[in-house]
Every structure is written in C-alpha cells, then in structure tokens.
Structure 1
Amino acid sequence: MAKLTLTTFLSLDGVVQAPGSPDEDPSGGFEYGGWLAPFMDEGMGQFMIEVLDRSAAFLLGRRTYDIFAAYWPRVTDPDDPIAGRLNPYPKSVVSTTLEKADWENTTVVSADVAEEVARIKERTVGGELQIHGSGTLAQSLMAHDLIDEYNLLTYPVVLGRGRRLFPEGGLPTAFALTGTRTTSKGIAIHTYRPVGRARFGSVDD
C-alpha cells in the first residue's frame, strides 16, 4: 500500500489559492494570484524533484488537473524530471463534472471519494500516491485522516485573504516534524506526519 502525501505551497497566513499565476484561480474575487513567483529559487526546484522522484501515482483535484493537463503533456522529453513522471504515471482526478480525462493514464473519480482513494492507496505500489496543490480535495481527505504526510512549502508573504489549507471546523490533529529546510529566498519547507488527535492541557502543569 502506498503512502498518500500532500505537497502544497502556502503563504505565512496559510493561503493556498492561486500560487502560480494571476489567472489561476480568481474565485471569490481573489486578486493576488501568482504570489509565489518572486520567491522561486533553486532550492524549491530541487525539493520538488526529490518529491517527484518518490512518486508512483498522482491524485488531483479538478482545478489542479486542468492546470497540469494544459501544460505538461506538451513537455515530451522523457528525461524531464517533472513531465517524465506526470505524463506516464497513473493519475486520478476527483471531479463531479468531468466526464472523461484526455491526459494519458488518467481516470476520473466522481463518487465515494474517500472510499475510492483508500482503494487507490491500497493498489499503488513502488512509491508514493501524491497530491499536488488541490486544496479542496486535500481538505476532504483530511476529514477522513487519509493523508499520511504533508510537505508544506511556506513562502515569506502575507496575503490577508484567500482560501486556506486548514479550514475552520477541521479535525484537531497533532503532527510530528520529519524534515525541514530553508531555501535561499526564504521558503521554509517542512514535512509533517499526522500522529493522532491534538491533545490539550495547561502550561502550568
């Protein structure tokens, strides 16, 4: 059975909406798309390559799928460290509106998402089942404790608005830090493993 991992970019105030470009996701009147661009550096790229080197299959939300499918199939170099994995490896896109997926080796998951993701984890071998971005999907899977590891790339910027990774009303969860590094432009990269429900007490004890 594969480990299900989430790799995502977020601001200091937890926003994950539209990190890559101004027109990526303007829903809710969000005007700050492309906020990670000024901070891209070699350290970020190297970390992403390391993550993708561990992949065996991918699980994507509809919006992330549309963004990836519009670009990566056009990168045909099999030695490209990203396209060489995204294009040939199995992909599942979670959507209630997409009838079929044109990107090679992609299937559509439209119902019983938590149960189907559990089945995909069970049958994936040889590496990780990876979620990239896909904040809405990630939130739905957090509610079922299905994500085994979080790679959070936190950028040194506060946005003040936008969709956040951890929603109000989410499950109180404790995590163990399993890896950390900082890039030259100040991206703090932390890897966390859930270790159960959060615990509470008094600092005077």
Structure 2
Amino acid sequence: MTDRGVVRSKSAPLTLIGYRYSVYTWIVRAALHLKATPFHFQDFDPFTQDPGPHPHPFGRVPVLQHGAVSLFETVPICGYVDAGLNGPSLTPSGALARARAQQVAAIIDNYGYWPMIRQVFAHRVFRPLVGEEPDEATIAEGLTVSAPVLAALEKIAEEGLILTGATLTLADCHLAPMVSYFGRAPEGKQALSRHPALARWWAEVSAQEFLRATDPMA
C-alpha cells in the first residue's frame, strides 16, 4: 500500500517515543491498546534529556515511527493509528459524533491540559512524588480555570453521542488519561463529581482494561 510514494505496511515495526509519565504519551498508548497493536516503547524525557537528533522537530513527545513513516503530535498520531492499523474503529459514526470527538480533543488540549495537568495534577500529585513542594496558589488557579472546561465537556457527555462509556472512541482515549491524572488530586476528583454526565462516563471508563493496562503510574 502506498501513500504519496511512501510504502506503508501494517506489519512494519512500530515504535512509540514518549515520556513515560506524559499524559499525551498515555493517550497514544491507550489507542494502540484498543487496536491490539504491539509496539516498542522508547522512553524520552523532554524536560531533562538533550533531544539531539530527536525525530520531533521541537524536541517534544510523543512520536510514532511506523516503518518509513514518522509522525508527531497526538491527534494525528491517534488518527493514523485508527485509520491505518487493524482493530476496531475508534472513530464514531455520524458527522456530528465525529465532530464532537474532535471537539473533545481540541477542548482538552487548548483549555484543559495546562490547568488540569500542569497546575492541579503536577502540583498536588506529581511534585510530592519527586520530593518537591506543591504551590497552593497554582493549584487554586488551575481549579478555577478548569471549571469552564469541565462544564463544556459535561454538555457533550449529556448529549450522549460520545463519552458514554459503552462505545470507546478516540475521544475516550484523549480525555480519559487527562481526567485520570486530574482526579488523582482530591480537589480534581471533587470538581469532577459536580458534573453528573461526565462523572457517569468516568465511572464506566475508569474501570476499563484499556486505561488500567496503560496507566504509567500503576
């Protein structure tokens, strides 16, 4: 099979380069798990390691290498994994449901990642694990900024096209690791509980094997 002259093969070696604790690396691992696709994992910490000849032009993670193909950035990687590899489809049927799945990824990337992960999770959970003190003001700010993000996701969950927990899609792959990290902070768990549809989705998804098997902190 060819794609603009690049030979692709579903049996070609597949390598995921990522930081073990990166939520975006976890997202890709979740998608690969649902596609039942074996891969080699290469750990790379972009915060401490010299990128050197790193395949990501900005020295970040994750990067997926599949034969001659090299992809960076989580959304296109997951789209490629879903469309190009064997396994159940992770793209919902119907134009609106597909748009909602893309919307979930855009919401969490643009508005949720920094307050939920870099402020709440990093300061309340990760910093103490590595012997550093949390900054309470940063956590408080993260919770404030997270509130409209959770409200927007709640409306999508209420609609019932995606984020149901019954049929897993790329939206679940993208959102579940973010919510898992956020909810490990007691304040994050409490904030999530104030959104019934989102909390119901999380109760369903958090118990599923694809998330537990790929949890980087398990």
TM-score of the superposed pair, with normalisation by structure 2: 0.29
Specify which structure has the higher proportion of strand: 1
Q: Which has the higher contact order (CA 8 A, sep 6+)?
A: 1
TM-score of the superposed pair, with normalisation by structure 1: 0.31
